[in-house]
């Protein structure tokens, strides 16, 4: 018996590639729900040509409204202003005077991340995309962090990948240091 929305199948069991005798035939019933979509369950009101009439336009005046809706394939460069409402600052020209450089990510933000582990007990601040003399950056950043926090700060350098891991939550202090130095 089949009810609406269910498909029932009967299968005969095979043993070693041969069908079992009729007295040993086992029927397995598997019930699989099927659902008709609303498109298939509704009856058509008229011929499809009433609903699929398309007008092709090559007018650039109409195309500009379509281009606004398409997603951008890249992040545009920010417009130059003296002050931004979010507090964001573009890289300054003075950042070229340092022996190291911190490259921004593709969204023009600092590559600075806070990693929280162990139910909030272990916090690590990570600074990425460091180019140049990473050891000079380590010394300058460590000196600044220890002056601000008035305690010893542990920094771990990953020279090959260009990362510095800082033990603890120093996200806002490092971000402030990067802004002050023009990175």
pLDDT of residue 125: 97
Name the pairing type of β-strands 100-102 and 130-132. Answer: antiparallel
Q: Is the model more confident about 39 or about 152?
A: 152
CATH topology of domain 97-180: Translation Initiation Factor Eif1 (3.30.780)
Count of beta carbons in the 10 Å neighbourhood of residue 59:
7
148 neighbors 173 (Cβ within 8 angstroms): yes
Please state, in angstroms and rounded to a whole number, the distance separating the CA atoms of residues 124 and 11.
Answer: 59
Per-residue pLDDT, averaged over 99-109, amounts to 92
**pLDDT exceeds cutoff 90 at 113:** yes
Q: Tell me what pLDDT residue 35 has.
A: 55
pTM of the model: 0.61
151 or 36: whose pLDDT is higher? 151
Domain chopping of the chain, boundaries: 1-36, 97-180
Could you read off the pLDDT of 70-99 as tens digits, one per residue?
Answer: 888 888 888 888 888 988 888 888 778 889
Contacts of 169 (CB under 8 A, 6+ apart): 114, 123, 125
Reading phi first (left if > 0) and then psi (alpha if -120 to 50, else beta), residue 171 is in alpha
CB 154 within 8 A of CB 119: no
Provide the pLDDT confidence category of residue 6 given band limits of 50, 70 and 90: very low
């Amino acid at each position: 018996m089949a009810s609406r929305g269910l498909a029932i199948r009967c299968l005969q069991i095979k043993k070693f590639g041969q069908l079992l005798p009729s007295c040993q035939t086992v029927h397995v019933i598997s019930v699989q729900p099927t659902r008709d979509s609303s498109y298939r369950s509704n009856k058509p009101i008229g011929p499809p040509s009433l609903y699929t009439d398309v007008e092709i336009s090559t007018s650039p005046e109409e195309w500009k409204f379509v281009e606004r809706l398409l997603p951008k394939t890249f992040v545009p460069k920010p417009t130059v202003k003296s002050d931004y409402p979010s507090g964001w600052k573009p890289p300054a020209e003075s950042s070229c005077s340092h022996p190291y450089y911190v490259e921004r990510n593709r969204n023009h933000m600092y590559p600075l991340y806070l990693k929280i582990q162990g139910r909030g007990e272990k916090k690590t601040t990570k600074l990425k995309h460091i180019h140049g003399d990473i050891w000079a950056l380590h010394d300058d950043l460590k000196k600044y962090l220890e002056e601000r926090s008035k305690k010893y700060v542990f920094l771990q350098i990953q020279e090959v990948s260009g990362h510095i891991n800082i033990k603890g939550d120093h996200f806002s202090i490092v971000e402030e240091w990067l802004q002050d130095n023009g990175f």
